[in-house]
């Protein structure tokens, strides 16, 4: 974007703002950045990407008109307005207009996802559900033996489980109170 603006200035198609205005903008930007960027050295180098590109595009004459884009091409408007800010949108209109910019904007997410689709992974064969697997049989047998062996002593065990659940409920209520 900077190169496009520089070419317009060098060829005389665009003029730089007056020196006084440029110094005022630099000073106001410096003051604003000092509030949000703690390191003064880095503050001079940092710029907000989207406002900077919009400013440069306005100077070059390639900033897309969002309202006319909404009326002309609603699908593209959604991608430009709600999608990521990419340099393609500054190639839709004005000098240096590119006929492939619309297609590039509409397919930009395909290019982002493409590296993650390196190969097609085959679906695994579904194993038939075995109701009586070895694990299930062992667990059921252990529970049955415990009930038969301790049928008279089962009530105190269940009361102990109920007591543990009540204590854990109090803990969980306290935990949910603190997590809010």
Range of the domain at 74: 64-112
In this prediction, residue 94 carries a pLDDT of 87
* Cut 0.85: pTM above it: no
> Within this chain, do residues 34 and 73 fall inside the same structural domain, yes or no?
no
Q: In this structure, are residues 105 and 75 in contact, taking their beta carbons and an 8 Å threshold?
A: no
Burial of 80 (0-12, 13-18, 19+ CB in 10 A): buried
> Within this chain, do residues 55 and 68 fall inside the same structural domain, yes or no?
no
> Within this chain, do residues 1 and 41 fall inside the same structural domain, yes or no?
yes
- Of 55, 50, 77, 78, which is closest to residue 4 (Cα–Cα)? 55
> Within this chain, do residues 88 and 108 fall inside the same structural domain, yes or no?
yes
**Residue 118 belongs to a domain:** no
**Residue 78 belongs to a domain:** yes
> Within this chain, do residues 36 and 48 fall inside the same structural domain, yes or no?
yes
Tens-digit pLDDT profile for the chain (180 aa)?
Answer: 888 888 888 998 888 889 999 899 888 888 888 787 777 677 767 788 898 899 889 988 899 999 999 999 999 999 999 989 999 999 999 888 899 999 999 999 988 888 888 777 787 777 666 555 777 788 888 888 877 777 766 666 667 767 777 766 665 665 554 444
Tell me the C-alpha distance between 29 and 35, whole Å: 10
Tell me the C-alpha distance between 40 and 25, whole Å: 17
* Number of separate domains in the chain: 3
CA angle 11, 16, 21 (to 5 degrees): 180
In this prediction, residue 102 carries a pLDDT of 94
**Residue 137 belongs to a domain:** no
Q: What is the chain's length? A: 180
């Amino acid at each position: 974007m900077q190169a496009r603006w520089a070419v317009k200035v060098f060829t005389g198609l665009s003029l730089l703002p007056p020196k006084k205005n440029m110094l005022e903008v630099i000073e106001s930007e410096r003051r604003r950045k000092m509030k949000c960027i703690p390191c003064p050295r880095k503050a001079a180098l940092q710029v907000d990407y989207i406002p900077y590109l919009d400013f440069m595009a306005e100077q070059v004459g390639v900033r897309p008109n969002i309202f006319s884009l909404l009326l002309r091409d609603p699908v593209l408007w959604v991608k430009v307005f709600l999608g990521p800010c990419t340099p393609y949108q500054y190639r839709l209109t004005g000098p240096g207009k590119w006929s492939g910019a619309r297609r590039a904007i509409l397919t930009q997410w395909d290019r982002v996802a493409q590296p993650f689709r390196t190969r097609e992974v085959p679906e695994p064969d579904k194993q038939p559900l075995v109701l009586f697997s070895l694990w299930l049989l062992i667990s059921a047998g252990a529970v049955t033996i415990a009930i038969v062996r301790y049928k008279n002593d089962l009530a105190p065990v269940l009361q102990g489980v109920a007591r543990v659940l009540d204590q854990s409920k109090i803990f969980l209520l306290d935990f949910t109170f603190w997590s809010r």
